[in-house]
Chains A and B, each alone.
Chain A
Amino acid sequence: GENVEQHPSTLSVQEGDSAVIKCTYSDSASNYFPWYKQELGKGPQLIIDIRSNVGEKKDQRIAVTLNKTAKHFSLHITETQPEDSAVYFCAVRGAGSYQLTFGKGTKLSVIP
């Protein structure tokens, strides 16, 4: 099955700095790559996603980049704010599959 590696597991940044979280995947046929944010005591919520025919997607302060050749994708958060503090999960959906395989998560702390 699909194997998803996510790094780092924890990340601390100063408010206003950028944060980058990276994920690698094993199945070259995978075609959908979402990122979820989980706040304390809540369920994960989709923040951005990218499909395999797109290299980059931006939504205000967040962006995702995809390198299909290297089989990795990254989440970029610019001008971080305290409310960005949460656990972030990457996920991958393989071609012909219904399921999402999640990375183990990154705990982001934004220090005021």
Chain B
Amino acid sequence: NAGVTQTPKFQVLKTGQSMTLQCAQDMNHEYMSWYRQDPGMGLRLIHYSVGAGITDQGEVPNGYNVSRSTTEDFPLRLLSAAPSQTSVYFCASSYTRRTNTGELFFGEGSRLTVL
């Protein structure tokens, strides 16, 4: 049981390049989400999904796209990378989408640097 797997762990991009951060979970979780972590800013929600084919925006969605074609996978796409997107990105999933419970399981993070 691998849990939440993120790839790549490290990536350097040039401004304007595009890329996809991959996230996969093997726990049959309905809920999946992407957060970014910046120094002094905590964890901020980018996008989330409550099931295959359903996605929604979080607090800081601009510059990012997501899709959820399967229960297991939730990729995050950077369309045209900017230095402001330099951050550590975490994918997290939860067993239940009931609103008053549900432990979030996090991946180990993907550190992205945009030059």
Contact = CB atoms under 8 A, between A and B. Distances in A.
Are A and B co-members of a single complex?
Answer: yes
Nearest to A52: B100
> Which one of B48, B50, B90, B99 has the highest number of Cβ atoms from chain A below 10 Å of its Cβ?
B99
B43 to A, nearest CB: 4
B99 A104 contact: no
Majority SS of interface residues in chain A? Answer: loop
A45 B43 CA distance: 13
Q: How large is the interface on A (under 10, 10 to 19, 20 to 34, 35 or more residues)?
A: 20 to 34
Given A32-B101, A104-B40, A99 B106 contact: no
A103 B42 contact: yes
B42 A99 contact: no
Interface string A23-46: 000000001101010000111111
B113 to A, nearest CB: 16
A60 interface: no
Contacts of B44: 102
A97 interface: yes
A99 B58 contact: yes
B48 A99 contact: yes
Interface in B19-67: 31, 33, 35, 40-45, 48, 50, 58-59
Interface of B: 4, 31, 33, 35, 40-45, 48, 50, 58-59, 90, 92, 97, 99-101, 103-104, 106-109
Interface of A: 1, 6, 9, 31-32, 34, 36, 41-46, 49, 51-52, 89, 93, 95-105
